[in-house]
């Protein structure tokens, strides 16, 4: 009996997606629960698994856009792996003389065949895009599996030494496959990138966005982290980062200026009395904003664990739709990329977004004297239709005060 593998519904507003990578090939025998392919939509990436065991026949290629409900593969559950072995083994025995069989078996005992370890979607995507040979890269993950850091290191090594035999240059391959007169390459935008583009344009067109700036001295937070890091890490199994401080500070500021924690809906203003904070995470596919739920009720350790968990899921393409929905306010840290100052764009229907930036030693006046302090510029973009300048500035000053005097935060470590 043949079973159709159809593109499942993954969200109310999602009508199509892209088969980004097949984890099984046409002709492979698959077991129930095996990951068949990764479906990339404008919101999330989802691994689609086999419902039953059988022989796989693919109907859609990698990179092909498919609609919800479309058949992309067929599984023949009348076939079993044992049948394939039975039909193949006699042929091998007939073809191979006994004189050649014994030396081959002795050689196989000495040199067992290398089994290719499975790659995660994120690692596979980098390997394919950068034209790497995964078998020639040393894995540092569990059981020697390749992790993202391994392949990124391989990419950097290739760039530093130039084109080698093991790592052919993608640029060289492009020159072979494209005409010499070609001055550009056209490729279709991914569903996520198209969604990001549409969302950003919609944000600019439907909100009255304004940005206000301030700066904060990071000395106290840095000292507190250095003092508490060892005990915090030993107790919770994770490091005490900066983001948890800014989430806590943002919650305190939202409580002090509630209008920032709301949204406009047609002619109504909706005031949120809960604090679900979005934390922007950059991935190879684009920017995603998973939500830290009930941030006001969580400890520093719980916040750090949530952030780390979302970061891993985002980079591996395993975020679920519910992980990205329902935030009331967003924090974006451009400082991790070296950004000194920026004007973050609102994430509708939210009223505000806080931009963090790079910590830079700068001379500042302290008690009438010039001192060099670790300073960070803060930016608050807000919807001026709902929030006045006074409220925006008050919010940003509250964040600044909580960071410069961490004792004003509910410290629990």
Summarised one tens digit per residue, pLDDT across range 75-109 is 988 876 755 444 444 444 445 555 555 555 555 55
Q: Is 42 a catalytic residue?
A: no
Asked whether the beta carbons of 126 and 155 are under 8 A apart, the reply is yes
Report which of residues 150 and 189 the model is more confident about: 189
Beta strands 369-383 and 16-22 are: unpaired
Report which of residues 44 and 276 the model is more confident about: 276
The mean of the pLDDT values for the chain is 84
Which residues make Cβ contacts (< 8 Å) with residue 115, sequence separation at least 6?
none
Report which of residues 140 and 109 the model is more confident about: 140
Q: Is 131 a catalytic residue?
A: no
* DSSP string for residues in 266-321: TTEEEEP-S--EEE-EE-SS-EE--EETTGGG--HHHHHHHHHHHHHHHHTT---G
Residue 374: per-residue pLDDT: 98
Residue 195's pLDDT band (cuts 50, 70, 90): confident
Element (H, E) at 395: helix 389-404
Report which of residues 174 and 77 the model is more confident about: 77
Task: Kindly state the tokens that stand for 193.
Answer: 């990138």
Nearest CA to 303 out of 344, 250, 263 is that of 250
Residue 300: per-residue pLDDT: 97
Report which of residues 168 and 251 the model is more confident about: 251
Task: State the DSSP code for 130.
Answer: T
Instruction: Determine phi and psi for 279, rounding to 5 degrees.
Output: -120, 115
Report which of residues 166 and 198 the model is more confident about: 198
Residue 159's pLDDT band (cuts 50, 70, 90): low
Nearest CA to 134 out of 286, 404, 148 is that of 148
Q: pLDDT digits over 335-355, tens only?
A: 999 999 999 999 999 999 999
Find tokens 């039975």 and name the residue.
86
pLDDT over 60 (residue 363): yes
CATH number at 117-179: 4.10.320.10
Residue 370: per-residue pLDDT: 97
Q: pLDDT digits over 287-316, tens only?
A: 889 999 999 999 999 999 999 999 888 888
Alpha carbon of 185 to those of 130, 173, 174, 192, 331: distances in Å?
16, 13, 9, 20, 35
Residue 95: per-residue pLDDT: 54
Residue 411: per-residue pLDDT: 92
Report which of residues 93 and 217 the model is more confident about: 217
C-beta atoms surrounding 171 within 10 Å: 8
Q: pLDDT digits over 106-137, tens only?
A: 555 555 555 566 777 667 777 776 778 887 78
Q: Which CATH superfamily is domain 192-408 in?
A: Chloramphenicol acetyltransferase-like domain (3.30.559.10)
Separation CA 40–CA 56 (nearest Å):
21
Residue 156's pLDDT band (cuts 50, 70, 90): low
Strand partners, 54: 30
Query: Which position among 28, 34, 276, 384 bears the catalytic label?
Result: 384
Alpha carbon of 154 to those of 159, 167, 347, 397, 398: distances in Å?
9, 9, 35, 44, 44
Query: Which position among 131, 174, 294, 388 bears the catalytic label?
Result: 388
Percent of the chain scoring above 90 in pLDDT: 50
Question: Which range among 57-66, 273-282, 385-394 shows the weakest confidence by mean pLDDT?
Answer: 57-66
Report which of residues 322 and 292 the model is more confident about: 292
CATH architecture assigned to 2-76: Beta Barrel (2.40)
* Domain extent listing, the chain: 2-76, 117-179, 192-408
Residue 190's pLDDT band (cuts 50, 70, 90): confident
Residue 174: per-residue pLDDT: 44
Alpha carbon of 143 to those of 56, 133, 147, 155: distances in Å?
28, 19, 11, 22
């Amino acid at each position: 009996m043949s079973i159709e593998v159809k593109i499942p519904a993954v969200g109310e507003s999602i009508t199509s997606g892209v088969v980004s990578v097949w984890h099984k090939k046409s002709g492979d025998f698959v077991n129930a629960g095996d990951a068949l392919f990764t479906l990339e939509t404008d919101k999330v990436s989802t691994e689609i698994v086999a419902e039953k065991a059988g022989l796989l026949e693919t109907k859609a290629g990698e990179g092909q856009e498919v609609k919800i409900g479309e058949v992309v593969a067929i599984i023949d559950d009348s076939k079993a792996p044992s049948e394939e072995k039975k039909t193949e083994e006699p042929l091998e025995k007939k073809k191979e003389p006994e004189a050649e069989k014994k030396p081959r078996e002795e050689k196989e005992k000495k040199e067992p065949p290398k089994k290719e370890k499975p790659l995660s979607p994120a690692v596979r995507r980098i390997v394919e895009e950068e034209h790497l040979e995964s078998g020639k890269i040393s894995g540092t993950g569990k059981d020697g599996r390749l992790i993202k850091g391994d392949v990124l290191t391989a990419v950097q090594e290739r760039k530093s030494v130039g084109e080698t035999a093991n790592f052919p240059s993608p640029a060289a391959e492009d020159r072979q496959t494209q005409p010499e007169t070609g001055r550009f390459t056209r490729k279709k935008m991914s569903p996520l990138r198209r969604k990001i583009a549409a969302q950003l344009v919609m944000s600019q067109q439907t909100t009255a966005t304004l940005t206000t700036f301030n700066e904060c001295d990071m000395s106290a937070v840095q000292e507190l982290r250095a003092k508490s890091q060892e005990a915090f890490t030993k107790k919770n199994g994770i490091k005490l980062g900066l983001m948890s401080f800014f989430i806590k500070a943002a919650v305190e500021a939202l409580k002090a200026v509630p209008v920032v924690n709301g949204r406009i809906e047609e002619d109504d203003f909706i005031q949120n009395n809960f604090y679900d904070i979005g934390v922007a995470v950059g991935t190879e596919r684009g920017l995603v904003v998973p939500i830290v739920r009930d941030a006001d009720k969580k400890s520093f350790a719980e916040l750090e664990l949530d952030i780390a968990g979302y970061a891993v899921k985002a980079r591996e393409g395993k975020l679920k739709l519910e992980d990205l929905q329902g935030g009331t306010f967003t924090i974006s840290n451009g400082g991790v990329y070296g950004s000194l100052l920026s004007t973050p764009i609102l994430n509708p229907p939210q009223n505000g977004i806080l931009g963090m930036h790079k910590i830079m030693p700068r001379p500042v006046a302290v008690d009438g004297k010039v001192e060099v302090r670790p300073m960070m510029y803060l930016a608050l973009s807000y919807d001026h239709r709902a929030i006045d300048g006074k409220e925006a500035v008050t919010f940003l000053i509250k964040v600044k005060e909580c960071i410069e005097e961490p004792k004003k935060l509910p410290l629990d470590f």
